[in-house]
Structure 1
Amino acid sequence: MMHIIAHRGAASTHPENTMGAFIEAQRVGANGIEVDVQLSADGEVVIIHDEKLNRTTGVKGYVKDWKLSELKKLNASFGHKGKSVSEKIPTLAELFDWLQTNQLSCIIELKNTVFEYHGLEEKVIQLIRRYGFENRVILASFNHYSLVYCYRLAPDIETALNYREGIFMPWIYAKSIAAKGIHPQFRAAHDVIVKESLNAGVAIRPYTINTEAQMKHFFKKGCSGIITDDPKLAKQVRDWLISMTN
């Protein structure tokens, strides 16, 4: 079955990277969620996409300069245009506590391209080990050096490389750094790349697939999964396609 991965949770309807968005993704039938992690000033693994706080919390500053106790006082739904709700920035441990209550998979994007976040890989892997989520988590990043480091630290935990522009034969490149999957921006996920990656045994999950036409296209091509802001629509499209083939 082609998996539906909710990008930062159900980000089309709920504040991104919040527990509300993750819970909604499960409710509408997503198979997994995708989250972004950084380190607070006191070394806690927190879930937030931007290095700067302003877009999602309305305050100035960088995540790395705020302690967890300070980050927890912020409203993580500041930038959301939907109904008025107040959400907190979750920690990865808080997410894992909740994941214990369901069977969702989880792609963890290491946000370590702007800042290195020394120790981020070790702390994320330590948490994965603590919760026994080695088979439910995929580590992803645009920093491919970081993915190689993750593999060396924990070869049993799957890695997948994120990229935006074209990579020549990305399925071969992925295997060269021991990654089992690729997550291309959808414009870089040409049909031949989908086909050859799958033939090579490399999972391909394009992002961010938000229109019905895009969903139909990538589902029909047999992608391992799609990463989408709208898991509810994706499930409706997938269910419709399945009904048409039965």
Structure 2
Amino acid sequence: MQVVAHRGASHDIAEHTLGAYLEAIRIGADGLECDVRLTADGHLVCVHDRDLRRTASNSGVVSTMELAELDAFDFGSWKNPWHDLDDEAPDLDPALNKVLTLRKLLETVASAGRRVELAIETKHPTRFGGLVERRLVELLDEFGWAGADSPVRVMSFSFTALQRVENLAAGLDKVMLIDKAHHWPMLRRMIGKKWIVGPGIGELTDHPGLARRLRDSDRRIHVWTVNTDAQLALCESLGVETIISDRPAYMLERVRR
């Protein structure tokens, strides 16, 4: 079973920061997961929320701001607001808490010294529509990662977004994310035969029928966000291929024991 670090090693280090991804690579995560949004000047950045209130204490909306504006904010201090009062805490490198561009993350993966896979979720709805997927595929093509041998797969809750990826880069793996069990009967008739399904662990836990249907569908299954032994045991019973976890070090130890 593959263990993918959800927004990096986000249980311990602020999500989507370079520090969180470097830690995930260091501890041996099989892959990294990130969310991407497009800035006003056309850069893909790793940010989950549409605005910065939670992660950068600012009301700005990512899609209306340029990269230089975002680069002025601290995206890491919210995780440990008492750091400056702890005399024993290690010094923090401000560069590791800046907004992370997808380009920088791809460069980091490329220089990891081993194969590290990358699960990229495109966030919708957005004012830029299909431009997000177009810019993503263009950037992957620069790295030679837009084909069938790519370490990258693209995920989305938007069927339309994944259709765009199918048209732009048919060789890339696509993951249809599922956050509602009752969506599956419709989605299973629509999605590509080789598409991966990505249910949330909450839906699998609360709806055993969904778990059974997915298990019997002969599809590859990637589950988010798996953080406990009980959740891992459920995934193992279903033959899940990949788990996405906030606690990659903990899950790696459990999977490899």
Establish whether residue 122 from structure 1 lines up as the match of residue 134 from structure 2: yes
How many Å apart are 1:197 and its aligned residue? 3.8
Establish whether residue 228 from structure 1 lines up as the match of residue 245 from structure 2: yes
**Maintained 8 Å contact 1:35/1:107:** yes
Counterparts in 2 of 1:19-38, with a 5 A limit? Answer: 19-38=18-37
How many Å apart are 1:100 and its aligned residue? 0.8
Residue 103 of structure 2 aligns with an amino acid whose one-letter code is: A
**2:107 matched residue in structure 1:** 97
Secondary structure at the residue paired with 1:206?
strand
Q: Could you say if the C-alpha distance between residues 106 and 173 of structure 1 is closer, same or farther in structure 2, counting changes exceeding 3 Å? A: farther
**2:9 matched residue in structure 1:** 10
How many Å apart are 1:116 and its aligned residue? 4.2
Secondary structure at the residue paired with 1:203?
coil
Secondary structure at the residue paired with 2:79?
coil
Q: Matched residues in 2 for 1:171 and 1:65: separation?
A: 32
Deviations 1:116-170 (A, max 9, x none): 4451111100111110223211111111111111101111111111121113347
State TM-score, norm by structure 1: 0.88
How many Å apart are 1:194 and its aligned residue? 4.7
Residue 107 of structure 1 aligns with an amino acid whose one-letter code is: A
Residue 225 of structure 1 aligns with an amino acid whose one-letter code is: T
Give me the identity figure in percent: 26
Q: Could you say if the C-alpha distance between residues 178 and 66 of structure 1 is closer, same or farther in structure 2, counting changes exceeding 3 Å? A: farther
How many Å apart are 1:50 and its aligned residue? 0.5
Secondary structure at the residue paired with 2:198?
strand
**1:55 matched residue in structure 2:** 54
Q: Could you say if the C-alpha distance between residues 114 and 41 of structure 1 is closer, same or farther in structure 2, counting changes exceeding 3 Å? A: closer
**Maintained 8 Å contact 1:53/1:60:** yes
Q: Matched residues in 1 for 2:245 and 2:232: separation?
A: 9
How many Å apart are 1:66 and its aligned residue? 1.1
How many Å apart are 1:192 and its aligned residue? 5.5
Residue 112 of structure 1 aligns with an amino acid whose one-letter code is: H
Q: Matched residues in 1 for 2:12 and 2:79: separation?
A: 9
Residue 98 of structure 1 aligns with an amino acid whose one-letter code is: T
**1:159 matched residue in structure 2:** 174
**1:67 matched residue in structure 2:** 66
**1:244 matched residue in structure 2:** none
How many residues get paired?
A: 238
**1:149 matched residue in structure 2:** 164
**Maintained 8 Å contact 1:58/1:78:** no
**1:76 matched residue in structure 2:** 75
Q: Which moved more, 1:2-11 or 1:176-185?
A: 176-185
Secondary structure at the residue paired with 1:79?
helix
Q: Matched residues in 2 for 1:33 and 1:101: separation?
A: 14
Counterparts in 2 of 1:173-184, with a 5 A limit? Answer: 173=189, 176-177=191-192, 180-184=195-199
Establish whether residue 238 from structure 1 lines up as the match of residue 255 from structure 2: yes
Which segments of 5 or more consecutive residues in structure 2 lack a partner in the other structure? 84-91
How many Å apart are 1:78 and its aligned residue? 3.3
Residue 28 of structure 1 aligns with an amino acid whose one-letter code is: I
User: Structure 1 residue aligned with 2:184, among 168, 171, 181?
Assistant: 168
Q: Matched residues in 2 for 1:78 and 1:143: separation?
A: 31
Deviations 1:75-106 (A, max 9, x none): 11132137744401111111111111131100
**Maintained 8 Å contact 2:130/2:164:** no
- RMSD over aligned Cα atoms: 2.1
**Maintained 8 Å contact 2:7/2:33:** yes
Which segments of 5 or more consecutive residues in structure 1 lack a partner in the other structure? 241-246
**Maintained 8 Å contact 2:45/2:102:** yes
State TM-score, norm by structure 2: 0.85
**Maintained 8 Å contact 2:32/2:117:** yes
Q: Which moved more, 1:55-64 or 1:193-202?
A: 193-202
Q: Could you say if the C-alpha distance between residues 217 and 146 of structure 1 is closer, same or farther in structure 2, counting changes exceeding 3 Å? A: same
Residue 108 of structure 2 aligns with an amino acid whose one-letter code is: W
